[in-house]
Each structure stands twice: as C-alpha cells, then as structure tokens.
Chain A
Amino acid sequence: MVPSTEIEKIAERPMPAEKLFGQSRSTPALISYTTLIVLVLFSFLASSMMKKWTYREVNMRLHQELEERRLVIYSQMERYINYLQSTQAFFAASKHVDRDEWKVFVEKYGLFEKYPGIVATAYIERITPETKEIFQSEVRNDTSILKEGYPDFKIFPEGDRSEYFVIKYIEPDSERKMIMGFDIGSEATRRSALERARDLGAPVATGRFKLLQDKEDKPAIGLIIPIYKNGASVANLNERLEGLVGFVNIVLRTQLIFEKMKPADFHNNIRYRIYDGEYLTRYLSNDHLLFDSAPDSPEYSDNNDDQFTSFISLTVAERVWTIRADGGAGFMIEASNELLPFYTLLTGMVFSALIFAIVYLLTTARFRAQEEAKKMLEKLQQSESIFHTMTDHSPLGIILTDREGQTQYVNSVAQQLSGLDSDACLGLGWLNAIHPHDSERIRIEWLQVVKSPHLVRTDFRFLRKDGTTVWVHANIAPILQAGHVFGYAATIEDVSERMLMELALRESEQYNRSLFDQSPIGLLLCDRAGSIIDVNAAFAKIVGRSVKECLSVTYWKTVPKEKMDYEKKVFESLRSSDTRGPYETELVRKDGSLTAVRIWSLVVQKAEISFIMSSVEDINDRKLVEEGLRRAQDDLIESEKTSMVAKLAAGAAHEVKNPLAIILQGIDYLSGCVSGKEKEAAQVLLDMSTAVKRADGIVKGLLDVAVFTELLLKQENINETIEDSIRLVKSIADHKHISIVKKLKSNLSKFQIDRNKIIHVLLNVFTNAFDSMKEGGTLTIETREVLTEEAFPHATPDIMEKKRKVVLINVEDTGRGIPPDILDHVFEPFFTTKRGQGGTGLGLSLVRSIVQMHNGIIEIENRKDQSGARVKIMFPIR
C-alpha cells in the first residue's frame, strides 16, 4: 500500500551517521570509534588552536607591556630632555653663563640625584679656530669654581679643525679632569648629533658610544640641545646656524636609566632591551644595545616556541629606538595564568556542552523514539484509514485472507455480493456462498493460489441466501511483504449486469438474426455494386435458389433483362437518397421463370461502409389474388346487379302472379262454361292455360332468382344429397347413354346445407352437363375434403380463408366444353345460350346465389385433360 513507503521512510530513516557509514550491525561500534577518533583529533586540534591562541594572547600581552614600557621609557627620557630644555632656557635667559652659575644650576636642578644614569652634563661651546686661543685662555683663567683655574685646559684632540665643539663646563666635577676641553665634534657619532641638533634646533640623541672613561663598552648615549645666542631668532636653518653658540649635553648610561625603572609587576619574566635604531626583527646587534633588563640572560634560541618577542619603536630626541621585549616560559606561565580562568571557563563550557549533548541525546532519544513511533503510528493509522476508506467505499468487493487463505476481512460490498455477513465470511466461510455449480471449481482454484502464489482471474456465481444469483468476476492476488507472502487479496466485481447485457446482446443478436432469417418477406443485403452479402430464406425462395446459391451470385443475375436499366437506376439513385420504393417489378428465378415482386430498398451503414438492404416481397399470390379480387369485384357487381334485378324481378313477379292467378281462375271458370262440344273454345282455353303456366314458369324463375329470406339449413351428408340428385336425373342420363361416375369420399364432415336448394344446384349443373354432351359421355362426380388454397388458389380472405377446410364437389363432363368467350358470362342473370329452348338464363345465376348463400364458391372452367367442362363447388365445413 502506498503509505507504507512513508512508514518505511520513517522507520528506516538513516541516522546522520548511518548516512556516512551505511547500515549494518557493526555500525554503532563503528560510529563510536569514529566519534572517539574524531574527538581525539578534535582535541589535538583544539589544543593546538588553544596554544596558538594562548601564544597570541601572550604576545599581545607582551606587546601591551611593551607599550606600557615604552610610555614609561619615553616619559623617562622626556625628563632628561626637559632638563636640556631647561638648560636651553637658562642660557637663553642669561646674557652669559658662568661656570659657577652652571654648577649651581646643575646642582640645584638636582640632576644627579633625580636623574639616574647621568654620567655628566656639559656645556659645549662652539669654538672657531680664530677664537680657539682666547677660549683656551679664558677657560684656564676661569677661577669661578677653582681658585687655580684650569691651567691644563686645552682643546683636545689636538689639531686644527674648522670648528671645535669643546666641553667648556662639565659636571660632575669628577669628570672634569678627563673630559673638559674635549672636542666632541671630533667624534663622528657625536658630531653628527651636534650638527643635527644645531640644524633642527631641537634636542637630539646620539647613538650609542663608549665613554672615554669606560674601559668596557658600556652603553652610553648623549643628549644634546643647541644653545643659541641670547635673543637670537632661530626660525630657520640659517638663523640657527648663525645663532649657534654651543650645546648642552648630558651623557647617559642608558642601562642605568632604565634599571631604576623596573616596574613592580612581572618584569622579571620579561627581558627588555632597548636598541638604538629602528629594527623590527630579532636580529639586532648588540652594538646598538642601549639597555638590557636582564643582561646576564642567555640569548634565546630562535627555535624555542616558548619565546615570545615583541618590538616597538620609540623616538627619543629625534632618534629612533627599538624596544624589544622577550618573554620566556615564566612570562608565558604568568601570562597564561591570567588566561586560566578563561581556560577553565572554556573547558567547563565544553564539558557542559558535551554533557548536555549526552544527556540531551539520552533523554531525547527515548522521546525521539517515541515521537518516531508516534509518527509511524500516525502514518500507520493513516494507512489503515486509507485502507478502510478504500475498502468500505470500493464499488468492488474486497476479501483479505491470511497466508493459509483464512478470511480476515470482508468489506461491505463483498458481504452484499455473497449475501453473507462479516462473521459468516471468516475463515473459509465465503466459499459457502458460491453457487453449487461453481463451488468445486472455485475451491480448487483457491487452494491452488494458496499453494503457489500467483494472480488468478476467475468468474463465478454467488448463490445468496435470498436465492438470488450474482455473477462476479474475481481477481485473487498474493500480498507480498519483502518477498514473502503473508496473505491474499481478492477483489470481486459484480458482473451480473454485464452478463445480463452480454446475454441480452447475444439474445438480441440472435433475435435480430432470426428476424432476418425468418422474415417471411425476402431480405437482401448487397453492396453498392450489387454483390450479394446476405440473404434470408424467404428471398432465396422467391428467386428459386438456396441461400448458399444466392450468396454466390450477384443481384443482377436475378434481374430480368428488360428491368435491368431500371434496377441500375434505382441503385444509382440510392447513392443520394436513402430509401427507394416500394416499387413492383419482376425477378428471374433460377429456372428462368419470372416472379412478381415488390421491392423496398434502403441504404444502411455498417462500419462506415454503405450497403443496400432490400425487402423483396413475393406478390404473385397477390397478383393472382388481385385477379381474383377483380373477378370477385366483378362478381360482386354482378351479384349486385343480380340481386337488384332479382329484387325487381321479385317485385315484378309478385305483381304478375296475381293477374296470372286471375287469368287462371278465369280460365277455370270459363272452362266450366264451355261445353265439351265447343272444341275450339276448349282449345283456346287450353292454350291460354298453357300460356299462363308458361308465364308462371318465368315468374317462378324470376322469383327463384330473387333474394329469398332464409336457407333452411340442416346438417347433411353431402354425398347423400348428391346421390339423391343423381337419382333424380338418372332417367335423363340413361336416356342419353351418359354414364355417371361417382367418386364420393366417404366420411366427409357433415355440414349445414339447405338440401332442397343444393339439389336444385346439382340438378342445374347436371342438366347443363347433359345438355353439352351428345350421346355417350361421362359425368364424373367427385367429392373430397381439401384446403381452400388447393381447390381455389386465388381465393381471397374475404371470400374464403386459404387454409379453410372445405368440401369440394367436382363435376366433370365430357361434353363440348364452354367457349372461352362465354366462360366469363355464364353466371350472368338472363345469360343463356338456350333461349330458344326455353332457357331463362337464370339457372346458373341462381345456382351461384345459392352456393354463395352457403358461403361457398362455385367455379366453372374447361377441363385441361380433355374436352368438357368442370364445375367446382366448395362448401366450408362449418
């Protein structure tokens, strides 16, 4: 079922790790080890990162310290520069500064007390060669401090130079002896500094130099400030050059300056070194080293990772210094100790997170599992719900069974189809509802399915409790799960309607076919070209062929030559219009004879092709019947005429009878009056009497022809009546030597006749026959029981039904026969060929009237086998 894939998805949803590792039994272990490895690696990574970070932090710390130190150093140096600036100010303020004034200044300033590292401070005067001697003598004679002055004073190094920058005043005094008179301009480093200071008009620091008095090379620098003429403008270089008088300097032992500056904090762990110059690498030469906070420490190896080094530059008195800070392990420890809280926090957080994750996973695992289970359950329920909805509302019956074929579930439609309720269907119960005819077969099929799972399609009937039968079509399929059968599903469809429809269709087709085949009217289906596609038996009969023969000929073979054009036209015309007819024509039978037909044609469509369907009606009978009808009509007119005449005659007769009666009575009377002697009179009377009698005879004949009121009908045996009639004429027959042959069928049905009238008829017929025969001859009288159509093929229903049983009286003579031109008139009243012989011509018309009154038929025709006439009289057996 579709939803199961949803469930599968959930159930088999791979855990993220599984996505990587796939799914197998060892996966959890794999996951665990992998996690371990990952975490270990992560730890390494983390630790190295932490290390880096720590180092960075330490570095930063170092640098921070360095910056602070710089500030300190700078401010410290500022102090010294301030001193110089003070001296500049002093000199600027004084017209002349004497030695002792200088000394006081310096002492009062407290230079040596307050400013560590100062070796000396000196006033340097610029001396030109011209003033050299004056200067020297001046100095020698300066007794401001020493009474004796300085007799040994001289400018050294010896030599002539363009200018001399001579140390004139110097403090402390201890230095004096050595330094006073030194031309510091002679020393390159100092000289450049001097010039720079002169040019810039600002304090300038020298590079590192070795003090004269030092034996070892201890770092010392000088700070120099230019002194200008009192009141001189020193706005630009020229002025400065012009105004330069001298310099004041201080000589510093840089090492000492900063030693005193040791900050309280972890200075011990940082080695500060100050270099003269701008260097930002490790590779600083000690030549430029000004200060080393840990001069005895070994140089650090570059490869030592626990070394932290930082540089910073500093401009002091126009000179760039570089301060290098090195932090060793101790520093690192100290620095990192500061980071300890952070580490702790970090570790703590990591552990917290870890533990949190574990706890979370553990606690939520169950929850998640429950959630998953709930989701799956939900999906399952949905699936169930879908299933139930589908099965409950399915138009098909659904039966589910377990692996053994035992019914587990039956939906409502299946119950309804089988007529069993849900419980009755359980197990194999539903098989009980199967119609007995199909029961065995279905059981077998069912067992086969259970044995070897495959799809089975089958049809069978349910016989429901209420006795009704339902045709169903069932599909039985195995239900698989992961390749194993765990049940079967049968879907059952009510096909009764379909069956019924199929049956109905088949019946309908059969019905249609039988309609076609059994139609009494000939049916012909042919194509546009006239090839016969289908015929029924009636048509075949019309054209005198078998159905098979018909199918092998074309329609044109049945069309007479003279009708061919017309028929072709009909076919053509059917192209445009749809029906044609009815029209009367003739067809040619197999034996070549023509047969009259009436044809309707219409175009029918069958699978997009059009055919011509014709109904062909045999109208031969009808033609004959039409003939008969026409004749009957004529007869009717005749009989109408007759009856009219008869009525006239009757009226006339009646009227005449009375006068005749009077005449006769009169004759009787007169006979009584005439004696026997008057022979003539007697003869006259006799003649009169004869005449009257004759007239009476005619009148009688007329009256006979008249419509008489009733027949006196009685059940008679016709043969007896005929015998009686024969007896009456026997004498006449014998007289003419006419033999009478009787072929009277015995056991004829009796029927009702007016015996006297029939005798009259027979007498009339016999008499006529005798009259037509000369001497000798045979009168044959035959009776038999037949069907109308045999005796009188063209009798129409209004005269007589064709299949009516009738008694036929056949009277044949061997006489002259009746001339054909007279034959049509024999029954006409007053028609006689014997008028001369007293024939009234009323005989046969009366005979026919009588026969018709009996609902019979009389016909006269000439014999075909020989000369003579035949009279056929037919009475229906009532």
Chain B
Amino acid sequence: MSKKKVMLVDDEVGLTRLMKLNLEATEKYDVRVENKGSLAMSAAREFKPDIIFLDIIMPDMEGSEVARQMRADPTLRNVPIIFLTATITVDEVGPTGGEVGGETFLAKPVTVRQLIDCIKKHIGE
C-alpha cells in the first residue's frame, strides 16, 4: 500500500520535526515539511500531497493566503486542507477537528493520535 502523502506547513521548526518523526514512525505516511508559507505553494506542487496541515499564523504568509493559492491551483484544488492552529480550542472544534465557517480546524497542541485520526477522517486509511 502506498503511503499517504502528508504536507505540514508551520513556521515552528521543532514542532514540524517531531510531527514528521511521529507520523513517519507509523510507516503509513510520507511527510513533507515546509516552514515557510511562501514556499509552501511550490513545495506542494512538487510533492503533490494528499492532505495538507496549515498553520494560520505564520510570519511570512498567512495560512489562509497559502490555502487560497493552493485552491487556485488546479492540481491542488481538491487536496483537503486542515488548519492546524493554536488560535482555537479543542472545545470549539472537537479533538479531531471540526468545521468552523466552512474550514476544517485542528487545535494545538495535538497528539499524534489525534493527528492520525484526523487524517483518517479526511482521506481514509
């Protein structure tokens, strides 16, 4: 079975490193990390992820802007984008994320378990 391709866009280096480690430890996922929002676009085109986790608040480009760009790209339009952010709470969106205003949010801090469950929810096994 091919591994699902997961893209992580977040300016927090430590976090992305660990998340990548944890996800790849399951051997189910191929994880590409991008710490600069402005570069996420080209990285995604190149990596062609199955799911993207976007941080909202990034210094060089807002996650929402990145999302917009991605959606504008025909190759990335259908890729589910999960906003992974500290700005909301679990209460608001549930442990495995939830929709708020049409967008899917996942609240930090998040455990690996929660991540995996979220991925499963959106792109299956």
Which of A650, A653, A662, A672 is within 8 Å of B15, CB to CB? A662
Q: Is A380 interfacial (CB 8 A cutoff)? A: no
The smallest C-beta distance from B56 to any residue of chain A, in angstroms, reads 10
Interface contact B111-A664, CB-CB below 8 Å: yes
Chain A CB within 10 Å, residue with most, of B21, B87, B91: B87
C-alpha spacing A672/B112, complex, angstroms: 11
A–B Cβ pairs within 8 angstroms, 26 of them: A650-B87, A653-B86, A654-B57, A657-B109, A658-B12, A659-B14, A660-B108, A661-B15, A661-B109, A661-B110, A662-B18, A663-B109, A664-B110, A664-B111, A665-B111, A665-B112, A668-B111, A669-B25, A669-B112, A672-B22, A672-B25, A692-B109, A700-B89, A703-B88, A703-B89, A704-B89
- Shortest Cβ distance from A655 into B: residue: B86
* A contact residues, range: 20 to 34
Q: Is A666 interfacial (CB 8 A cutoff)? A: yes
A interface list, Cβ under 8 A from B: 650, 653-654, 657-666, 668-669, 672, 692, 696, 700, 703-704, 756
C-alpha spacing A703/B86, complex, angstroms: 9
Q: Which residues of chain B have C-beta atoms less than 8 A from A666's C-beta?
A: 18
- Shortest Cβ distance from A664 into B: residue: B109
C-alpha spacing A180/B19, complex, angstroms: 234
C-alpha spacing A664/B86, complex, angstroms: 14
Which of B14, B88, B111 is within 8 Å of A662, CB to CB? B14
Interface contact B12-A661, CB-CB below 8 Å: yes
Sample of 17 more A-B contacts, CB < 8 Å, known A668-B111, A672-B22:
A653-B86, A654-B57, A659-B14, A660-B108, A661-B12, A662-B12, A662-B15, A664-B109, A665-B15, A665-B19, A665-B109, A668-B113, A669-B22, A669-B112, A700-B91, A703-B89, A756-B91
Interface contact B21-A660, CB-CB below 8 Å: no
User: What DSSP secondary structure best describes chain B's contact surface?
Assistant: helix
C-alpha spacing A700/B109, complex, angstroms: 10
- Shortest Cβ distance from A658 into B: residue: B12
C-alpha spacing A387/B92, complex, angstroms: 104
Instruction: Give the A-B pair count, Cβ closer than 8 A.
Output: 63
User: What DSSP secondary structure best describes chain A's contact surface?
Assistant: helix
Are A661 and B25 CB-contacts (below 8 A) given A654-B87, A703-B89?
A: no
The 7 closest A-B pairs by CB, nearest first: A657-B86, A661-B109, A665-B18, A668-B112, A660-B109, A661-B108, A662-B14
Interface contact B22-A668, CB-CB below 8 Å: yes
Q: Is B90 interfacial (CB 8 A cutoff)? A: yes
Q: Which residues of chain A have C-beta atoms less than 8 A from B21's C-beta?
A: 665, 669
The smallest C-beta distance from B113 to any residue of chain A, in angstroms, reads 8
C-alpha spacing A696/B90, complex, angstroms: 10
**Hey, what's the 0/1 contact readout for B57-87 against A, CB within 8 Å counting as 1?**
1000000000000000000000000000011
Q: Which residues of chain A have C-beta atoms less than 8 A from B91's C-beta?
A: 700, 704, 756
Q: Which residues of chain A have C-beta atoms less than 8 A from B92's C-beta?
A: 756
The smallest C-beta distance from B36 to any residue of chain A, in angstroms, reads 16
- Shortest Cβ distance from B21 into A: residue: A669
Q: Which residues of chain A have C-beta atoms less than 8 A from B109's C-beta?
A: 657, 660-661, 663-665, 692, 696
C-alpha spacing A314/B100, complex, angstroms: 184
C-alpha spacing A654/B107, complex, angstroms: 11
- Shortest Cβ distance from B92 into A: residue: A756
Interface contact A658-B86, CB-CB below 8 Å: yes
The smallest C-beta distance from A389 to any residue of chain B, in angstroms, reads 95
